[in-house]
Amino acid sequence: MVRIVFLAGSLAITAASTDTYNVPAKMNKIGQPLDSFVSYSIEFASFPDFAGNDTLRNDFSYNLLKNLGDMMGTSPYIRVGGNTQDYALFNGSQKEALIGVVDPSRSPDYPTTITIGPSYFESYNTWPGFKYSHGFNLGLGGNRSAGWQTLVETVPLACKALGNGKLYTWEYGNEPDLYSVSAQGPVRPSSWKESSYVRQWLNGTKEIRARVKESCPDLGDPQYMAPSFASLADPLNEAKTWQAGLNVNKDIELFSTHNYISGAASPGVTLQGTLMNFGVTKASVDNHVKSYSRIFGSTGNASAPPLIFGETNSLYNQGRPGLSNTFGAALWGINFNLYSASVGFKRMHMHQGTNYRYQAWQPVDTDKATKGTKAPYYGSMAVAAMLRNSATRPVSVSNVALGTDQHEAAYAAHFAKSEQLARLLVINMHRYNTTVDGAGLVPVSNPAVRAARTYSFRVGPQVADGQFVRVQRLLANGSDAITGITYDGWSYNWELDAGRPVRLHNVTTGETTVVSNGQVTVSLPDSSAALLSFTK
């Protein structure tokens, strides 16, 4: 049943209702993610800002990452890479960790001329208990002497920095399918094809293997996330690179693909129509599943490298204010992450960088942005709660069909071993704005009445009648909010306690509902989400 209730002070007006929804009776066999499912990708040039160095650790970033690790039971994995990994050249005498020059005609958001020094690798020392992947430069390393020399000189530094259990995996090249068509300036000719890429990949990974064996033999043979493509079609194709021998050495342990729902400057992009829209997200993710399945048969192929999003977020070109930095983007993030898990994605690396509009947090103060926790972070916390303790009690995620309304979604989590229903997460993505033009800045003097929608799910006989169900809510003043966001009454804002959890006493918590006649029912205001837990 969906019942719409309009909230006006203490008054509630009930509108029409529809059928009760069926929760899958069994777990989804392809929906079990890896541990640390909620992970991050940090732009190569921004990593020192996010992590700090041996002299000054970025404790704010550490606190936020630790929150997620405490919730999931395993710490997020950190992929260090992105466009700027393919611009970075090494200078062994440089004292600074990174020197970057921003050319606005190429990109206003990150440097495109970059040198790194030995101290760059100190950033891998700052967050105890975390694992990392390091991105090597293929863009300049595959066909230029300075880039190749950077590879030769930085492999020993990277592998030594990632010893003692810190190594996640390696990456060689970011989005090489765009090298010949990059908006920031092509680094390959128009003749750049799959065979050329594979030849340079194999040559570079052979060198990485030799240098790791020489400098860090305890790490064993390098394994990679790859191919890390941005597109599913031209100019390079994932399946064709596989056919051309990309994994001839059997060293690709994670099949990494990249995804953005749309572009920051793409015509017609809106919060409701693009981000807070189940159908748009489903179509985008399904395309990646189809591409992967053309190579491996299905996402359930246990002999194939697990499918991951090695880099992803809402809108490419670093997002748009009023869209990517809003609470609506946090709701999008929940839907995107959980739908991806339900169709076989095993880990998600949400991308971010200094000053990026879609970032989960701004790690330092700059002339463009102030340090702080951003709305998308709260979406990550809700996903982590849905998948909590997945290392010790893994769950499998299923999409719960809600009919034709594209502005709502629901997901079930079953324990993978017992197939017992553990949790339901419901997302009401109907837009509710409280600011002029939905930009999150100028308040509306008389905002519209906010509706609430009541969702009812059949959970019997999986869950017995009379069982109490814990309800934890993700809330904000509206989909356009950029502040005032809480998960289960907790704030993770910088200004409260440097990102550590702080319980707010003006938010209702401890809510429960009861299973009755085999059904559980919960009401959600427009632009909000709720997690229902049937077990601890």
Q: What is the pLDDT of residues 496-505, one digit of tens each?
A: 999 999 999 9
DSSP letter at 516 equals: B
pLDDT confidence band for 17 (50 / 70 / 90): very low
CA–CA separation, 394 and 372 (whole Å): 32
Give me the helix-helix angle, 278-296 and 327-342, nearest 10°. Answer: 30
Is the pLDDT at 141 greater than 60? The verdict is yes
Give domain limits for the chain. 38-393, 398-533
Burial (CB count <10 Å: 0-12, 13-18, 19+), residue 500: middle
Mean pLDDT of 299-327: 96
DSSP letter at 296 equals: H
Tell me the residue type at 102: V
Mean pLDDT of 60-85: 97
Burial (CB count <10 Å: 0-12, 13-18, 19+), residue 134: buried
- Residue predicted with more confidence, 329 or 13: 329
Residue 19 has what pLDDT? 72
Is residue 349 within 8 Å of residue 79, measured between CB atoms?
yes
Is residue 275 within 8 Å of residue 323, measured between CB atoms?
yes
Tell me the residue type at 177: D
Residue 233 has what pLDDT? 77
Residue 439 has what pLDDT? 58
Residue 444 has what pLDDT? 66
Is the pLDDT at 13 greater than 70? The verdict is no
Residue 445 has what pLDDT? 61
C-beta neighbour count of 526 within 10 angstroms: 24
Residue 442 has what pLDDT? 62
Give pTM, 2 decimals.
0.95
Q: What CATH number should be reported for the domain whose range is 398-533?
A: 2.60.40.1180
Question: Shortest CA distance to 408 belongs to which of 360, 462, 349, 479?
Answer: 479
Among residues 43, 175, 238, 311, the one annotated as catalytic is: 311
Specify whether 96 is catalytic.
no
Q: What is the pLDDT of residues 455-491, one digit of tens each?
A: 999 999 999 999 999 999 999 999 999 999 999 999 9
Among residues 122, 175, 194, 408, the one annotated as catalytic is: 194
- Percentage above 90 pLDDT, the chain: 90
Instruction: Tell me the C-alpha to C-alpha distance, in Å, between residue 143 and each of 86, 198, 222, 430.
Output: 12, 13, 22, 50
Q: Give Cα 314 distance to the centre of its chain.
A: 9
Mean model confidence pLDDT for the chain: 94
Specify whether 194 is catalytic.
yes
CATH class of domain segment(s) 38-393: alpha beta
Strands 307-316 and 252-263: parallel
Q: What is the pLDDT of residues 249-289, one digit of tens each?
A: 999 999 999 999 999 999 999 999 999 999 999 999 999 99
- Tokens for 374, please give them: 């951003």
